[in-house]
């Protein structure tokens, strides 16, 4: 098995963990809470570079979770 195939298989397993975790009723509630708390409507904060970077980081975590949930279902 090539290193690419190993990495792909590991990613699919990890993605399945995210799907299992966040597809339960409790997982959906937790994800909604995370999105409400850490996915700002506006990433750019004109008053603070630091706040902008924090917003971008928080947004990236939410996007990572969403992407991991789609690993095994790329059309979603």
Taking 70 as the threshold, does the pLDDT of residue 17 lie above it? yes
Mean pLDDT of 27-38: 94
Taking 80 as the threshold, does the pLDDT of residue 53 lie above it? yes
pLDDT at position 40 is 80
Give the CB-side neighbour count of residue 32, counting CA atoms within 13 A: 7
pLDDT at position 73 is 84
Mean pLDDT of 27-52: 92
Measured CA to CA, the distance from residue 10 to residue 1 in angstroms comes to 12
Measured CA to CA, the distance from residue 75 to residue 6 in angstroms comes to 22
Taking 70 as the threshold, does the pLDDT of residue 76 lie above it? no
Q: Which tokens in the block code for residue 4? A: 């690419």
Dihedral, CA atoms, 49, 53, 55, 60, nearest 10 degrees?
A: 160
pTM here is: 0.83
Measured CA to CA, the distance from residue 40 to residue 52 in angstroms comes to 10
């Amino acid at each position: 098995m090539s290193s690419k195939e190993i990495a792909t298989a590991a990613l699919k397993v990890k993605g399945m963990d995210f799907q299992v975790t966040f597809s339960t009723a409790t997982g959906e509630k937790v994800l909604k809470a995370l999105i409400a708390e850490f996915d700002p409507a506006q990433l750019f904060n004109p008053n603070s570079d630091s706040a902008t970077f924090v917003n971008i980081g928080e947004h990236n975590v939410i996007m990572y979770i969403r992407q991991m949930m789609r690993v095994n279902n790329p059309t979603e």
